[in-house]
Structure 1
Amino acid sequence: MRVLFTAYAEKTHFLGMVPLAWALRNAGHEVRVASQPELTGVITGAGLTAVPVGRDHILHRLVGMTKEQAPSAPQPPSYDLAEDRPEVLTWKYLKEGYGAQFVPWWARVVNDPMIGELTEFCRHWKPDLVIWEPVTYAGAIAAKACGAAHARMLWSLDLFTRMRGHYLRARAEHAPHERDAMAEWLGARAAKAGTTFSEEMTTGHFTIDPTPASLRLDLPHTYLPLRYIPYNGVAVVPSWLHTPPAKPRVCLTLGTSATERLDGYSVSVQDVLTSLADLDVEIVATLPEKQQAELHHVPDNTRLVSFVPLHALAPTCSAVISHGGSGTFLTMAGQGVPQLIEPFMFDDELRAERLAGQGAGLVMHGRDASGPRVREHLLRLLEEPSFAESAGRLRAEIEAMPTPNELVPQLERLTAEHRGTTAR
């Protein structure tokens, strides 16, 4: 069969798709990846066939703009997509947040530049299955327009489905005659593609989910579990990783998006390194060269690297200090590494709290993100055996999930079941 992966041009959202794309290719299926032109080199660097569509989005530029700088531009959300407290989730909050901010600010900004050309390509190539990143609703529109089965592939907890459920329930209870912002936007774009809106365009016919069941949200939707296989892009394993560490190794990594797309880290790296300087451990800090140059002192127990493939580093680590981003989180969890997480954005905090609830890590909120607090929490991870034991149980759960190769037969079956069911 023909399988199209599609994601708007955000590297970290695409990388998790790569092992499944390889598995489908190895099973004899024809695979292509459609995205905005900016991502072409990342796709081809993964050994996959790229299909550039539309124009690059400007989401990361809008994040730093004020209303005065860009009066006609949609403004960044002031609400939290991870919010789940009933007393906060009023119709007013959801209408102004999900309806008037998430849809126009995130969904429209990244999708509108690619919907037309992606739909044209799908009508030409006629994929049997479209697998789309969960904000790339363009994939659902194009799939429905050409009659393909389609599925979301998550890189996060499924906050999208949960928040849409909150929105639809509140609308039905308090304002049934008001417009559904998501349905209105998707419906208008679908009409241009010659089809109509249907609710599965927000969820896919099914969802591929790398989050282990013990950490997943409990939602009424069809999820296909998939073991997370780390892919960090083209990489070389450094020679110092060939030898086991002489003392406990701690990875300090705060993610790539903070410096590549956003304003920087939410915690002082210098403060953290200074506070850990007297510990009998080896700190491996992954920092871009610009951030390395900003340090005024590097302790003797610290190794600075601009990049190291995390899947090669993780098995040698006794603990990790991180922002809790999905790739870092799942890579470390898959190796049974206890985690100290200072949440950065989106679902990082919720995921970290669920990990802590399993006893496999600790959470340090922004208000507590100081070097001394990092030191205190790290010592607990290293000295209390329960954290490593719980992290080991989580690793076993992840290892029991289907690999990409094992998932392929399910995808073949579900594609045959859903293909053509949503065509115009």
Structure 2
Amino acid sequence: MRVLFTTTPGLGHMFPVVSLAWALRASGHDILVAAAGRREGHVQAMADAGLPVVEVLTVDKANRAFAAGVVAWMKNEGRGMTGRREWPRMAGKELARNGGGLESVARMYGPLSAAMADKVVSVAERWRPDLIVHTPLEGAGQLAAAKLGVPAVEQPFGFSRNEKAAPVLRRAMDEVYRAHGVSGPPERRVALSVAPRSMAGEVAGAWPMRYVPYNGGGVQADWLRVRPERPRVALTLGSVVVNWHDELGPLSWVVEVAKNVDAEFVLAVGNDVDPAQLGKLPENVRPAGYVPLTQLLATCSASVHHGGSGSTMAPLDAGIPQLLLPQAADQFVNADAVVKRGCGLATEGAVDTDLIVRLLSDERLATAAAQVRAEMRGMPSPAEVVPRLAELAG
């Protein structure tokens, strides 16, 4: 079987498909990834995961297309260009008000999917996949599946609800659908669901699949191979937040708060942003640059982050409590899911010593986090989903 993966640009959309791609490849199937990046290095990061990748759009073109989608979305919302700098938070709030339904933001991904469409269809027509796996807001893969008459499988990334997004994305891509002589979505469509049922409820018709985190590899430092005697707390802002303005604002509290807590704080915010902007760090804060999150969380008692899907799902997989500081996109939806399940905390306000102490000492949070981890580990693994995909492809 040949499986083509198509992803929306951005590591938060790209990395979640890696585990399924690995599972397919390990089972003897051929895979190919058609992708574009929002920053230089994103496409290479997928290749570094050991996957064959075709770049379908340059970074500049991807960003211009996405910017056009943002403008169209804001005009549709009646906001014009006012507050354009604040659109990520506005979109995130709208998504949360809509119960996590991606149809509220799918329109803004139309121009980006349309810009990718010709190259994705060309790759598909030459490579002839039996199945196309796409991320929820990536429309070019769905178009290619419809044109080739092969099944399309949606690979989600977190707690957003995707059931009504495809028709909105299809309407936003009407011109490119007509250009390719395709009238509607693929006839055979399946959605996967990676969210544990106790946090997301039943998604009608979706195939459950365990979320297996992937966030890159690295050579482990000595300190990362052992769990410390006192609690260790991971601090991260994922792959997007620090890149908006090259700032660590959501973590500015760490200088004043960390020194009052008997714990080690690991500042894992990548290598492109200088932690010195936070000021003089207390001795119990370790600036670590880039650290693969799953390796770090295995030694941690808790995690503090912005609420991105990968940064939320990884602590759930590790079975540790988390504090979410939502800023934009689906982060408010993820925060709601974690708080309602009782396996973590969230705030849009100030982070103080009491909040961090509660994160580390509240046994109810730790118990719920352990329960969610056990639930996730009981879901079918990507390897166990592979035979169902092969049967779907026929």
* Interval containing the TM-score (normalised by the shorter chain): 0.7 to 0.9
After TM superposition, the runs of 4+ consecutive aligned structure 1 residues lying more than 4 A away are: 72-79, 180-183, 264-268
2:45 counterpart residue number: 42
2:382 counterpart residue number: 404
Q: Which amino acid aligns with 1:301?
A: N
What is the SS of the residue equivalent to 2:260?
coil
- What is the aligned counterpart of 2:97 among 83, 103, 106? 83
1:196 counterpart residue number: 183
1:171 counterpart residue number: none
- What is the aligned counterpart of 1:380 among 358, 363, 383? 358
2:77 counterpart residue number: none
Alpha-carbon distance change, 394 to 151 in structure 1, aligned in 2, over 3 angstroms: same
Q: Which amino acid aligns with 1:15?
A: F
What is the SS of the residue equivalent to 1:320?
strand
Alpha-carbon distance change, 243 to 266 in structure 1, aligned in 2, over 3 angstroms: closer
1:183 CA drift (Å): 4.4
Q: Which amino acid aligns with 1:190?
A: Y
1:139 aligns with 2:141: yes
1:332 CA drift (Å): 0.7
Alpha-carbon distance change, 82 to 211 in structure 1, aligned in 2, over 3 angstroms: same
1:211 CA drift (Å): 1.3
What is the SS of the residue equivalent to 1:237?
coil
**Structure 2 CA distance, aligned partners of 1:280 and 1:209?**
38
Contact 2:113 2:173 in 1 (8 A): no
**Structure 2 CA distance, aligned partners of 1:73 and 1:364?**
28
Map of 1:235-250 to 2, 5 A cutoff? 235-250=218-233
What is the SS of the residue equivalent to 1:308?
coil
Contact 1:131 1:139 in 2 (8 A): yes
Q: Which amino acid aligns with 1:341?
A: L
**Structure 2 CA distance, aligned partners of 1:73 and 1:140?**
31
**Structure 1 CA distance, aligned partners of 2:224 and 2:327?**
28
**Structure 2 CA distance, aligned partners of 1:351 and 1:16?**
16
2:255 counterpart residue number: 273
**Structure 2 CA distance, aligned partners of 1:133 and 1:84?**
20
1:422 counterpart residue number: none
**Structure 2 CA distance, aligned partners of 1:314 and 1:408?**
28
Q: Which amino acid aligns with 1:124?
A: R
What is the SS of the residue equivalent to 1:53?
strand
1:321 aligns with 2:323: no
1:414 CA drift (Å): 2.0
Structure 1: segments with no counterpart, 5+ residues: 165-179, 417-424
**Structure 1 CA distance, aligned partners of 2:169 and 2:270?**
38
Contact 2:196 2:375 in 1 (8 A): yes
**Structure 2 CA distance, aligned partners of 1:9 and 1:380?**
37
What is the SS of the residue equivalent to 1:215?
helix
1:258 counterpart residue number: 241
RMSD (CA atoms): 3.0
Map of 1:151-162 to 2, 5 A cutoff? 151-162=153-164
Structure 2: segments with no counterpart, 5+ residues: 73-79
Alpha-carbon distance change, 60 to 348 in structure 1, aligned in 2, over 3 angstroms: farther
TM-score (normalizing by structure 2): 0.86
Contact 2:3 2:132 in 1 (8 A): yes
**Sequence identity, in percent?**
29
**Bigger Rg over Cα:** 1
